Amino acid sequence: MLLGRTLFINAKHPNATGAAVISDRNFKLISESTTKIFRLSIDITLSDFKANIFEVFFLRNLVKTYDINSILKFIKDENIQCVFLDNSLFGNLAKEIKRNVPEVYILSFFHNVEYSYFKELIKVSKKIHHWYTLLLVKKAERQTIKYSNWLLALNNRDSADIKMNYGKNVDIILPTTFSDQYDGVKSERVEAKSDILKLLFVGSYFPPNIFGIDWFIKNIMPSIKRQVQLYVVGSGFESHQIKNIQDNIKMVGAVHDLGEYYYLSDLIIAPIFHGSGMKTKVAEALMYNRPIFGTREAFEGYEIDITTIGSLCRDKFDFIKNIEEFEPSLYTGMRDAYLNNYSYETIRDKFIFFLNAEFE
């Protein structure tokens, strides 16, 4: 196969996050283009400042020296020919791989531009230590770009951001995709006639999602006159506290089968104002044939006619008006948008074409 013996390295993250979904997608893509593949998951030093104080504050590295030495030994022992770095913060690892085994090819994937993401995060978190984190992140991403053979990104915005911040072009864009899990029969069976419009918010418990759903509950829910029920699904939200929460808001949190909530719901809401990369919840909603009302940030990176799959809401008045006037028959393009642009098969073919062109 094109890539030979390959080592895939990703950062440790909870299974239910968008990053985990894309990491698994990337692993599957790479697996289909190698003679043999190995997978390692490592911690970023930022995940535990106290335990990694020497690495973070003295070496200013985001991958631990111990992990680097172990990985270099593994590469040599297993005769690895290609390394796929599934995180743009693995810069000092990329540097050491190229210094010690320069013949190994390195592909690096940007889930987002972490430098831009942390700049946005500071606006929400307002934590002083994030300013120091910003410096470490920029150093790491510069190293990733310098020592990689090929760069991969999620969308055109991130590609342009990489060019602007680091002066390097991305080699291929691989947007968010899902393997098809939609069950049309099950969807029709669950869709019972009801006067209550069922809204669904999906997202893991991190600042942009918390800010977005808090804003929606405070600014939108009290102003909607039609009967609605809002479900908030995502690991961590089961313990999220909101003062004077309305009876028609259910903080569900972690669930075993997310598909059940997509089938239950009429409309997906995505009030996201900060971030980078692509929002996996949008592609997932398209797969489950559910319309989406979201902000510009929520739809960033999706090259589709939004009017066929939902609505772009620029402010609270757009959300209120569109929800009040919502009719399912107005939005029929979700499955086509998914199948033509965000299915696994579509991106697999694009990636294989890219590899063939690079190795011909």
Q: What is the pLDDT of residues 230-246, one digit of tens each?
A: 999 999 999 998 888 88
Measure Cα distances from 153 to 12, 84, 113, 156, 160 in Å: 19, 13, 9, 8, 10
DSSP lists the bridge partners of residue 293 as 269, 311
Alpha carbon distance 101, 81 (integer Å): 9
Q: What is the reported pLDDT for 351?
A: 95
pLDDT-derived band at 223 (thresholds 50, 70, 90) equals very high
- Alpha-carbon gap, residue 249 to 18, rounded angstroms: 24
Mark whether 238 and 163 lie in a shared domain.
Answer: no
- Same domain, residue pair 111 and 23: yes
DSSP class of residue 261 equals: H
- Shared domain check, 189 and 114: no
Whether residues 224 and 198 fall in one domain:
yes
- Provide the whole-model pTM: 0.85
For the record, the structure tokens of 320 come out as 């209120």
Question: Does the pLDDT value for residue 212 go beyond 90?
Answer: yes
On the question of pLDDT at 341 being above 70, the answer is yes
Whether the CB-CB separation of 120 and 274 falls below 8 Å is answered with: yes
Q: Which runs of E-coded beta strand occur in the chain?
A: 5-11, 36-42, 82-85, 105-110, 150-153, 172-173, 197-202, 228-233, 249-253, 267-270, 292-294, 310-312
Same domain? For 148 and 32 the reply is yes
pLDDT of residue 16 exceeding 70, the answer is no
Average pLDDT of the segment spanning 67-81: 98
For residue 151, how many C-alpha atoms fall within 13 Å in the half-sphere facing its CB?
28
Proportion of the chain above pLDDT 90, given as a percent: 76
* Mean pLDDT, range 43-71, rounded to an integer: 83
Query: Can you give the pLDDT at residue 55?
Result: 79
87 and 230 fall within a common domain: no
Q: Does 335 share its domain with 347? A: no
Please give the residue that has the higher pLDDT: either 359 or 345: 345
Segment 62-68 shows an average pLDDT of: 94
Per-residue pLDDT averaged across 187-208, rounded? 83
pLDDT digits (tens, 9 = 90+) for 138-153: 999 999 999 999 999 9
Q: Do 269 and 153 share a domain, yes or no?
A: no
Residue 327 in 3-state DSSP?
Answer: coil
- Rounded to an integer, what distance in angstroms lies between the CA atom of residue 299 and that of residue 295? 7
| CA pair distance 61, 79, nearest whole angstrom | 26
Same-domain pairing of 227 and 331: yes
The Cα–Cα gap between 358 and 354 comes to 6
The reply to whether 352 and 288 lie within a common domain is no
**Number of domains the chain contains:** 2
pLDDT at 190 (0 to 100): 63
Both 14 and 146 in one domain: the answer is yes
Q: Which band of pLDDT confidence, cut at 50, 70 and 90, is reported for residue 321?
A: very high
pLDDT at 189 exceeding the cut of 70:
no
Q: What is the pLDDT of residue 133?
A: 87
Is the predicted pLDDT of residue 167 greater than 80, yes or no?
Answer: yes
User: What strands, in cross-sheet order, belong to the sheet with 172-173?
Assistant: 36-42, 5-11, 82-85, 105-110, 150-153, 172-173
Residues 251, 24: Cα–Cα separation, whole Å: 27
22 in Cβ contact with 16 (< 8 Å): no
User: Chain centroid to CA 107: how far?
Assistant: 18
* Residue 165, domain CATH: 3.40.50.2000
- Do 138 and 218 have their domain in common? no
Over residues 83-87, mean pLDDT: 98
Rounded Cα–Cα distance for residues 248 and 236 (Å):
20
151 with 170: CB under 8 angstroms? Answer: yes
Query: What is the per-residue pLDDT for 66?
Result: 94
Q: Residue 360 has what pLDDT? A: 64
Residue 149, judged by CB atoms within 10 A of its CB (0-12, 13-18, 19+), counts as middle
Section 292-318 average pLDDT:
96
* Per-residue tokens: 23: 């990491």
In angstroms, the CA 165 to CA 114 distance is: 11
**Enclosing domain of residue 35:** 5-177+343-359
Task: Give the pLDDT of residue 14.
Answer: 66
